[in-house]
Structure 1
Amino acid sequence: MNRTIAWAFTLLLIGLLTACGGNQQTSSSAPVTELPAALADTSLSSKGDPKRGKELFGPCAACHTTSKEVLVGPGLAGLFSASGPVLPKGVDYNGMLPNGKERSEANIAEWIRTGGTGRIGYMPSHNLTDQEMADLLAYLRTLK
């Protein structure tokens, strides 16, 4: 009788584990790309309003698109993605900004404020308040 109870218990346990998924692993067809810590940090953009940032982007549209299309400067879609924005053919910043710094909100804000020369051309400086910068970065984060 004890053997029967042991077998019944074992079969019940196997049934429960099978019903709950047991030790099965699920796989996703979409690759999971974790952002580097510098790109995942939203300490500036979290304080911003993307709608106001979109309005502030107006003058930027003279050189940048909100897509992956390249004008004078790169299209800014994907700026905060692991792969980064699409650059003109033959230009590769190795995932960094034109000034050689990693892409982070603080470094992107610095690049926007100070400008400089990259392999594509010259980025003029833009005098934005901290709130305007937070708004602009919040908007740039929406560009996929």
Structure 2
Amino acid sequence: MQVLSTLISVSIISLVCPATVLAEGDAARGEQLFSRCAACHSVEGQNKSGPALNGVFGRKAGAVEGYRYSTALLNSAVVWSDETLDAFLSGPSKMLRGTRMTTSVLSEADRADIVAYLRTLPAQ
């Protein structure tokens, strides 16, 4: 019974607090880490082999004009937030089977930093 109670408590905390944990990412370090992402994504508004990521926060997945998204992203109800970006970066195909993004960011700290950097990017 104690184990079940602990699991429930941890689940509730993770539902209530994930944005707080992610908000502690280092945006400056995230910008440096993003250089690896820049092979496929821009932050200046032009699409590459991946969509432009400026203004990604609060945007529905699959909504960048002029980018040819996978059916998985087009049909998803995902809206990009701290939590959804973290989940997607940790395993794109685990979150959205059929996505064309194959690169994962395994380190939780790296994901938090990249997400913090993406949060600073205004829509253009």
TM over 0.5: yes
The answer for the alignment partner of 2:35 in structure 1 is 58
Counterparts of 1:85 and 1:75, CA distance in 2: 11
How far 1:91 moved relative to its partner?
Answer: 4.9
The answer for the alignment partner of 1:20 in structure 2 is none
- 2:30 maps to amino acid: G
- 2:82 maps to amino acid: E
How far 1:113 moved relative to its partner?
Answer: 1.6
The answer for the alignment partner of 1:43 in structure 2 is 20
The TM-score, its normalising length taken from structure 2, stands at 0.63
Give unpaired runs (5+ residues) of structure 1: 1-40
Structure 1 residues 102 and 81, CA gap change in structure 2 (3 angstroms): closer
1:70 maps to 2:70: no
RMSD: 2.9
- 1:111 maps to amino acid: F
The answer for the alignment partner of 2:64 in structure 1 is 87
Structure with the higher helix share, 1 or 2? 2
C-alpha contact (below 8 Å) 1:114/1:126 kept by paired residues:
yes
- 1:113 maps to amino acid: S
The answer for the alignment partner of 1:127 in structure 2 is 105
1:104 maps to 2:81: yes
- 2:116 aligned to which of 121, 133, 138: 138
Structure 1 residues 115 and 85, CA gap change in structure 2 (3 angstroms): closer
Larger RCO (CA within 8 A; separation ≥ 6): 2
When Rg is computed on C-alpha atoms for both structures, the one with the higher figure is 1
1:115 maps to 2:92: yes
How far 1:45 moved relative to its partner?
Answer: 3.5
C-alpha contact (below 8 Å) 2:28/2:117 kept by paired residues:
yes
C-alpha contact (below 8 Å) 1:70/1:86 kept by paired residues:
no
Give unpaired runs (5+ residues) of structure 2: 1-17
| CA offsets 1:49-104 (integer angstroms, 9 cap, x no match) | 101101111110011001211111111000014577862427579xxx82723322
Counterparts of 1:42 and 1:85, CA distance in 2: 22
Instruction: Describe the SS at the equivalent of 1:134.
Output: helix
Aligned residues: 98
